[in-house]
């Protein structure tokens, strides 16, 4: 049974979300502040998904995300009444997978959770061979990426995005194609594609040698042999 952590300082909302998801067959755990959230995550590495409020009394949701994103691979969805524009982009840049605005419709919340867990399950069970392009090596079975001899920590979504680019190396793929393949849900914001591309560049391609923007079309992962020429 998938385990879902529901984080909200409003106990009525937390219990409502728990009831909605429990009716769908998920096992729900509740946390009402940042400290208890961090403690639960540290002690439960097998958590399947986190629903995280931004406005918490001690440690806000963005700071919690910053602290856990490199070590927690499960989908993290913000549930918040705050204005979407700034917080959405900041949250996506830090590794959030989706936003659900309050007030929410119960059926929509359940559908988003199902969509993320379904995509996560497909991605984690896909067994394809490891691939190397230039000095970047990616292994889908261990979810590990190395650049040269250095291991690089990616979020689950960043890893899936990089793997999709590897699968399509040498071809231009549109934002829409990437969004459909990696997120696969109408609920997220397509703007998260550009944010995650930026994150990948910051982590594995600071010199912009591999991930190229094809303006007006999309992105391309180019192949380089050892001498640095594209082939």
User: What would the pLDDT profile of 90-111 be if each residue is shown by its tens digit?
Assistant: 777 787 888 888 888 999 999 9
Q: End-to-end alpha-carbon separation of the chain, Å?
A: 46
Res. 141 pLDDT band, cuts 50 70 90: confident
pTM: 0.61
Sign of CA dihedral 43, 22, 158, 57: negative
Residue ranges per structural domain of the chain: 3-124, 127-221
CA 210 – CA 102 distance, rounded (Å): 39
Quote the CATH superfamily of domain 3-124.
Answer: Response regulator (3.40.50.2300)
Residue 129, pLDDT > 90, answer no
Specify the residue for token string 């007006």. Answer: 216
Residue 181, pLDDT > 70, answer yes
Model pLDDT, residue 122? 58
Architecture of domain 127-221: Orthogonal Bundle (1.10)
The pLDDT tens digits for 199-225 are: 999 999 988 889 999 988 899 998 753
Model pLDDT, residue 82? 61
The pLDDT tens digits for 33-80 are: 999 999 999 888 788 999 999 889 899 899 999 898 877 878 899 988
């Amino acid at each position: 049974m998938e385990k879902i952590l529901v984080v909200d300082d409003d106990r009525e909302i937390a219990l409502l979300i728990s009831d909605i998801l429990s009716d769908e067959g998920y096992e729900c755990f509740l946390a009402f502040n940042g400290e208890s959230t961090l403690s639960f995550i540290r002690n439960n590495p097998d958590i399947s998904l986190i629903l995280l409020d931004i406005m918490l009394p001690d440690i806000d949701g963005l700071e919690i995300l910053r602290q856990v994103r490199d070590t927690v691979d499960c989908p993290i969805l913000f549930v918040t009444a705050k204005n979407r524009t700034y917080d959405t982009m900041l949250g996506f840049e830090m590794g959030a997978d989706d936003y659900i605005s309050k007030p929410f419709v119960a059926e929509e919340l359940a559908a988003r959770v199902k969509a993320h867990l379904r995509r996560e399950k497909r991605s984690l069970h896909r067994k394809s061979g490891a691939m190397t392009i230039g000095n970047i090596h990616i292994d889908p079975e261990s979810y590990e990426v190395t650049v040269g001899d250095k291991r690089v920590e990616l979020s689950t979504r960043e890893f899936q995005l990089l793997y999709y680019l590897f699968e399509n190396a040498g071809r231009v793929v549109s934002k829409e194609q990437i969004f459909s393949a990696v997120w696969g849900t109408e609920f997220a914001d397509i703007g998260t594609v550009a944010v995650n591309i930026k994150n990948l560049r910051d982590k594995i391609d600071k010199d912009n040698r591999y991930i190229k923007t094809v303006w007006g079309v999309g992105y391309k992962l180019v192949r380089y042999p050892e001498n640095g020429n594209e082939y």
